[in-house]
Structure 1
Amino acid sequence: MKQSIIFLIVTFTTIQSFSQNYEKLRKYLDSNWKTPEEYVISKFNDHDYVFIGEYHRIKHDVDLILNLIPLLYENEIYNLAIEFGAYNIQEVIDSIITAPVFDRKLLKSIYFKNNPVWGYKEYIDIYEVAWKVNKENPNSSLKFRVVNLAPPYDPCKEGGAWNNLDPDVYMANVLKKEIISQNQKALIYSGNLHAFTKYHQPLYDFERDTLYGYTKTRMGNIIHDSLNVKTFNINLHAGWISDNGWNAQRVLPVNGAIDSIMNMYSDKRVGFDVVNSPFGKLNSTDSYYALGYDNFTLDKYCDGYIYQFAFKDYQPITSEPEFYTSKNIHALRKYLRCIGWTEIAVLTTFKFNASKRTYENIRNHFKHLMK
């Protein structure tokens, strides 16, 4: 009987603490609610370089960037730097998005040469939306730019695509050259690993269950270390890498606390601060990101957070029509052979455009999180 009473007391205390934490989170959101677009723009009041990190291939994440481009221009932020294009075609990109007519065919052609497996409509739309902004402001001497950050990726190159460079260092150097040296502000859009600023990613060997240290040279780390308070990191909601390894099923961020609190709202699109807010003290006990950290909390990981939809409502991005043609299918076969894809014998433009590999239905990544 005594043990039962102790159990009930402990359980009640845990539930009470849980409820109190959720009440703090709700009160904070209710008092500080901003749409994702409002939130991102607001961060430029105190910062010059806002990093926004995504999981990849989630439609509403790219749609957010498309929504932001006109707002960035209106607020005198004239640069969007992105991981998803190669820097060696920057001169052509500049000419395309300032031309009288948008040449999507030319854009797709040069884009294919640098990244033949990234034929996604929404990512290519980024350039067209930027072009529209410039078209609508023809008399302005300040043109909006989309700055491609990535080094060209050629898996057929002897020794490997990036055997003689670090892509994060390369992207940081492009940022310094094209934007920071010009004393201009920028929204920097990339995969979340590249966007880390103050957070250092664990170097963890899952096979040996050994932590070897931390990565301190991600693109955002490099810029943060040289500029510090001028940078701000925003994480876009998605499944986190599990502490069981890269190939394990993704887990809910901070043990599902954010998903649980957002279930209480009908309008779920929100951006909010993590640092100096109740969200900053949320723990994660089952993710790769917590490995090696004592008392890992969300404020160690990012400065701000954007939540848009529950996992059950995630939608995949769209394959770009006619990205693959009879003229480039041979180059595609060669590329796929070099990255080790063995299904090239029967490859046709129709089959590749319709394939799950290109379509990449993100819902398949998060099925187990859709409850």
Structure 2
Amino acid sequence: MIANYRLFINFKDTIMFKKISSFFVILLPVCLFSQTEAIDRPLQYLSANKMSPQEYIVSKFATRDIVLLSEEHRIKENLELVKSLIPFLYKNGVYTIGMEFGASENQKTLDSLILAPEYNENIARKLMFNYNSGWVFKGYTDIYKAAWLFNKSLPESAKKFRILNLSYRYNWSSFSGYRTPEKMMKVFYKGNTEIYRFGIVEKEIMTKDDKILILTGDIHAFTRYKFPVYDFLGEDFVRLENGYFGNLLYAKYPQKVYTVLLHKPFMNRPDTKPELVSPANGAIETIMQKMEYEPVGFDLVNTPLGKLRDDSYYSLGHKNCALEDIADGYVFLKPLKKLSGCDIDTAFLTEKNWEQAKENVADPDWRPRPNSLEEYWKQILEYADVPKKYAEVDK
């Protein structure tokens, strides 16, 4: 009886296995075709429409006044790109680069530096220190020097290139514990930083009918895209923010603003490993590998590349999120694991300015306020180690 029962089960399993096997034999080519098509169509489009990063970014000023470069901070290749853009921008009637990292209180000094007969590294260093006492990354002050060198090459009567500071010097000296409205009003004593940056661009660029390339972190560069945050009262417990710098620019000047995402890892969904993931679920890196990692710029909106799905943190609150929902364009310079950190300015933080530096350490609730110069350097160098951080991507 038991033997017959086992025979019956085995017989049924054999019939079922054949049916299932036949189903997968039919389904497998469909799946493979779908996956191949998902890569091939973007690849074909890119091969036919590729532009160098410089050509691509500058081309957007034919129809836009503001192009926002959405960067991952302290990436050497991104900042080298920005430096290389200066002559291209100038030739196309764009005379200003706006930078998140810089205090507007020091704008006159920065203007003087870039127009001076001789370039002064100490002044450049002090300007950046005044904004952020831990921002030791030479790539940013090197943009000052690149603008100075370019201006030196121009005829004396020619219009000069400018770097525009978009922030102010925050006051972290008395901050401790948790962020409260009262505490943050002391830190950001000139008000909401996003509104402040918007005001500078409107006054210095839009009212003068000028154009500007802006380098800023991704969250500040988003225009149409609304960044998700946890909200107990939100739909699916998510609230979509629309008050960041790029959102404000887009709200008032929707036809004049364009966001270009510089290739970077995306944050993974909360409480999910690894912490960093490859954009578009790895499709961008796969496509670029087939392109032999050629540096390129390309549109996302209404293109096969823009239709690539993304399931990273950016997809929270955004159903069927695709790259074109996040940004308008994209620039690829190198694969993620080949990107590097900026050169470090070893003269930036010393025993001489340590007391002043520790007084205004930024975001001390995100990482402990350092007790010594050595501890501060350790924190900075850990953050600067981009290859180590990016090695985590999709592990």
Normalised TM-score (structure 2): 0.87
1:333 aligns with 358
1:28 aligns with 45
1:279 aligns with 305
Structure 1 letter corresponding to 2:261: N
- Gapped regions of structure 1 (runs ≥ 5): none
2:147 aligns with 130
Distance (Å, rounded) in 1 between the aligned partners of 2:261 and 2:362: 34
- Gapped regions of structure 2 (runs ≥ 5): 1-17, 176-182
Summarize the Cα distance change of 1:134–1:157 in structure 2 as closer, same or farther, 3 Å threshold: farther
1:8 Cα deviation after fit: 2.7
2:115 aligns with 98
Summarize the Cα distance change of 1:280–1:73 in structure 2 as closer, same or farther, 3 Å threshold: same
Please state if 1:305 is matched with 2:327.
no
2:384 aligns with 360
Cα deviations across residues 109-153 of structure 1 (Å, max 9, x unaligned)?
232122111111111101111111111114234111100001222
Of residues 313, 322, 326, the one that matches 1:288 is 313
Distance (Å, rounded) in 2 between the aligned partners of 1:60 and 1:246: 29
After the TM superposition, which of the residue ranges 295-304 and 321-330 deviates more from structure 2?
A: 321-330
Of residues 239, 244, 256, the one that matches 1:213 is 239
Equivalent pair of 1:272/1:305 in contact (CA under 8 Å): yes
Cα deviations across residues 11-40 of structure 1 (Å, max 9, x unaligned)?
321110111222211111111111111111
Cα deviations across residues 25-58 of structure 1 (Å, max 9, x unaligned)?
1111111111111111111111111111011111
Please state if 1:264 is matched with 2:307.
no
1:81 aligns with 98
Structure 2 letter corresponding to 1:74: K
Equivalent pair of 1:312/1:370 in contact (CA under 8 Å): no
Summarize the Cα distance change of 1:24–1:338 in structure 2 as closer, same or farther, 3 Å threshold: closer
Equivalent pair of 2:173/2:360 in contact (CA under 8 Å): yes
Please state if 1:189 is matched with 2:206.
no
1:338 Cα deviation after fit: 7.9
Cα deviations across residues 61-119 of structure 1 (Å, max 9, x unaligned)?
11110111122112221010110111111111111111111112112123212211111
Determine helix, strand or coil for the equivalent of 1:234: strand
Distance (Å, rounded) in 1 between the aligned partners of 2:290 and 2:313: 28
Distance (Å, rounded) in 1 between the aligned partners of 2:33 and 2:65: 41
Distance (Å, rounded) in 1 between the aligned partners of 2:335 and 2:301: 23
Equivalent pair of 1:120/1:319 in contact (CA under 8 Å): yes
Distance (Å, rounded) in 2 between the aligned partners of 1:338 and 1:214: 23
Distance (Å, rounded) in 1 between the aligned partners of 2:369 and 2:214: 35
How many pairs does the alignment contain?
367
1:263 Cα deviation after fit: 1.1
Larger Rg: 2
Equivalent pair of 1:98/1:134 in contact (CA under 8 Å): yes
Distance (Å, rounded) in 2 between the aligned partners of 1:173 and 1:49: 14
Distance (Å, rounded) in 2 between the aligned partners of 1:203 and 1:191: 17
1:232 aligns with 258
Of residues 217, 228, 252, the one that matches 2:278 is 252
Determine helix, strand or coil for the equivalent of 1:148: strand
Normalised TM-score (structure 1): 0.92
Equivalent pair of 1:317/1:361 in contact (CA under 8 Å): no
Structure 1 letter corresponding to 2:102: G
Please state if 1:18 is matched with 2:35.
yes
1:247 Cα deviation after fit: 9.4
Summarize the Cα distance change of 1:247–1:222 in structure 2 as closer, same or farther, 3 Å threshold: farther
Q: 1:120-159 residue pairs with structure 2 within 5 A?
A: 120-157=137-174, 159=183
Please state if 1:199 is matched with 2:199.
no
Distance (Å, rounded) in 2 between the aligned partners of 1:253 and 1:236: 11
Cα deviations across residues 227-279 of structure 1 (Å, max 9, x unaligned)?
11111110011110111259961111111111111111224211001012101
Determine helix, strand or coil for the equivalent of 1:202: strand
Equivalent pair of 2:101/2:131 in contact (CA under 8 Å): no
Please state if 1:63 is matched with 2:87.
no
Summarize the Cα distance change of 1:36–1:98 in structure 2 as closer, same or farther, 3 Å threshold: same
Equivalent pair of 1:81/1:147 in contact (CA under 8 Å): yes
Equivalent pair of 1:150/1:171 in contact (CA under 8 Å): yes
Summarize the Cα distance change of 1:8–1:167 in structure 2 as closer, same or farther, 3 Å threshold: farther
After the TM superposition, which of the residue ranges 84-93 and 133-142 deviates more from structure 2?
A: 133-142
After the TM superposition, which of the residue ranges 139-148 and 172-181 deviates more from structure 2?
A: 139-148
Distance (Å, rounded) in 2 between the aligned partners of 1:365 and 1:162: 30
Distance (Å, rounded) in 2 between the aligned partners of 1:132 and 1:339: 36
Structure 1 runs of 4+ with >4 Å offset = 245-248, 340-343, 351-356
Distance (Å, rounded) in 1 between the aligned partners of 2:358 and 2:216: 27
Equivalent pair of 2:103/2:130 in contact (CA under 8 Å): no
1:342 Cα deviation after fit: 5.0
Identity of aligned residues (%): 32
Structure 2 letter corresponding to 1:156: S
1:175 aligns with 201
Summarize the Cα distance change of 1:76–1:266 in structure 2 as closer, same or farther, 3 Å threshold: same
